[in-house]
Chains A and B, each alone.
Chain A
Amino acid sequence: MPILHDLELNRRDLMVGGGTLAALTAVPAVVQAQPSPAGAPALTKVSLTVNGQSHDLEIDIRTTLLDALRERLHLTGSKKGCDHGQCGACTVLIDGRRVNSCLTLAIMNEGMEITTIEGLGTPENLHPMQEAFIKHDGYQCGYCTPGQICSGVAVLGEIKAGIPSHVTPDLTQPVTLSDAEIRERMSGNICRCGAYSNIVEAMTEVAGRQG
């Protein structure tokens, strides 16, 4: 039911006030009905490479990467929590690095390799981090989980690459994995259900398997 889908989106986003972009992109008529005081919203063509697939879209320039992924490409794994870079629910990998997709414009990410939770694994072929989250009960409501998993995968990569953190004892020595390192590095991913200790266990297991 695509029409109902768009209408629901429109209503919800107008009500919360912060997500009018999605409404604008989903229902272009709104653009004409409510011109911005700063000038007419500009549309642009953008080409995004997401999970290995290229997509050509026409979007309002203001569209964040998160809104493009969710509302245009219907990759709804990445979640909108705070929409201000504070909660980490929107975390995706861009050229292998974790990023808050709510704080970057879609158009700024042309030519980049974007990986969302949908690109990490599938229900039939889970990523090891997804498997470990299930095994260790690394979630409760699940809303923050895609962001936690994307971040978790990147964190292990960062430790392997020797990138230090706030809790790394000696900047001149190689970085070693520890609970403290994982906790510090995951502080940009908030879990309201408090699954933190199980997330640490899941990540520790995956790190161990990777050696």
Chain B
Amino acid sequence: MRAFTYERATSPVQAAAAAAANPDAKFIAGGTNLLDLMKLEIETPAHLIDVNGLGLDTIEATSEGGLRIGALVRNTDLAADERVRRDYGVLSRAILAGASGQLRNRATTAGNLLQRTRCPYFYDTAQPCNKRQPGSGCSAIGGFSRQLGIVGTSEACIATNPSDMAVAMRVLDATVETVKPDATTRRIPVAEFHRLPGDTPQIETVLERGEFITAVTLPAPVGGKHLYRKVRDRASYAFALVSVAAVIQQDGTGRIAVGGVAHKPWRVEAAESELPRGAKVAAERLLAGATPTHENAFKVPLVERTLGSVLDEARS
């Protein structure tokens, strides 16, 4: 691990200003992803801004009938919250399908949104990777790509976003609230929060330098059946090959988002209008233009089957 200096933030704006003043600074909250990457020298911040003392750890009702989730609410607490379990079950289910109990106890809501890909070439510092070292090339294309993206990829990067929570946030139309170094705030729909790789895969979100996430808000509950189905190589504690987050209404309409297939949680609203016609039609629309590799072509039928299974369960 490279040497760094350390400070404890005193307020969200102060944290944002401190990060903006030092281009090599990083915020640290749970640290479960950042410290792992720092040990491997994939992340090499010269300065850490510890934001754990800022509060931001409560879940409050909004005047619109939804919930405001503080940036530092731990994954365990978010998944266990009674309102989330009752009204946003897909979110609880997605969080509980990810990581281990130890990690969920520390990992935060904002940190989960910012976690980095688990592409094996991103992790292997001896290999070229455009995300880790812009311009060095992508080893995954033509390499070991079983886990990687099939849609929205680029010639520079086929990495996937590893988060389960973000897939549920996407299906729930969550909004990310931030504060900038000049104390202005903004609200970013989670749909626009993560970027596709394009030719700058190292830029993963629309956050500006220093911009600090303070909360994630959920709109008022939409009812329906909430399901999260994760397909992975072992039954627990593994990243998704494919996951489907769904909120399905009694009349068969609903919303779906898919994880494990793209650089961001993958949702295509036009595909949702096909849901009453079944999984095959909806999945085809959802994955239109997909460019899987030889190794991960199985994800195309796997998305359809996982979606089919979810729709069957919603009807039962």
Binding site for B on A (CB under 8 A): 18, 20-21, 36-42, 44, 61-62, 64, 83-85, 88, 91, 97-100, 103-105, 107-108, 151, 154-155, 158, 161-166, 168, 171-172, 183-185, 187-189
Stretch in B9-17, B79-87, B271-279, B302-310 touching the partner: B79-87
A85, B103: Cβ atoms closer than 8 Å: yes
Binding site for A on B (CB under 8 A): 1-6, 28, 31-32, 35-36, 39, 44, 46, 50, 52, 76, 79-80, 85-86, 89, 92-93, 96-97, 99-103, 105-106, 235-237
> Which residues of chain A are within 8 angstroms of B103 by Cβ–Cβ distance?
85, 100, 103, 188
A85, B102: Cβ atoms closer than 8 Å: yes
A62, B3: Cβ atoms closer than 8 Å: yes
Give the contacting residue for B4; candidates A61, A84, A166; CB below 8 A: A61
B35, A21: Cβ atoms closer than 8 Å: no
A105, B39: Cβ atoms closer than 8 Å: no
A83, B39: Cβ atoms closer than 8 Å: yes
Q: Number of A-B pairs whose CB atoms are under 8 Å?
A: 115
B85, A158: Cβ atoms closer than 8 Å: no
B96, A108: Cβ atoms closer than 8 Å: no
> Which residues of chain A are within 8 angstroms of B32 by Cβ–Cβ distance?
85, 100, 103
Known: A42-B6, A61-B4, A88-B102. A171 touches B237 (CB 8 A): no
B101, A155: Cβ atoms closer than 8 Å: yes
B35, A104: Cβ atoms closer than 8 Å: yes
Give the contacting residue for A172; candidates B39, B86, B99, B237; CB below 8 A: B86
Residue of A18, A158, A165 most packed against chain B (CB within 10 A): A165
Give the contacting residue for A164; candidates B5, B92, B99, B237; CB below 8 A: B92
CA distance A98 to B89 in the complex (A): 24
B89, A171: Cβ atoms closer than 8 Å: yes
Give the contacting residue for A85; candidates B2, B36, B97, B235; CB below 8 A: B36
B6, A188: Cβ atoms closer than 8 Å: no
A44, B6: Cβ atoms closer than 8 Å: yes
CA distance A124 to B40 in the complex (A): 41
> Which residues of chain B are within 8 angstroms of A62 by Cβ–Cβ distance?
1, 3-4
- Identify the closest chain A residue to B41 (Cβ): A38
B101, A164: Cβ atoms closer than 8 Å: no
- Identify the closest chain A residue to B98 (Cβ): A166
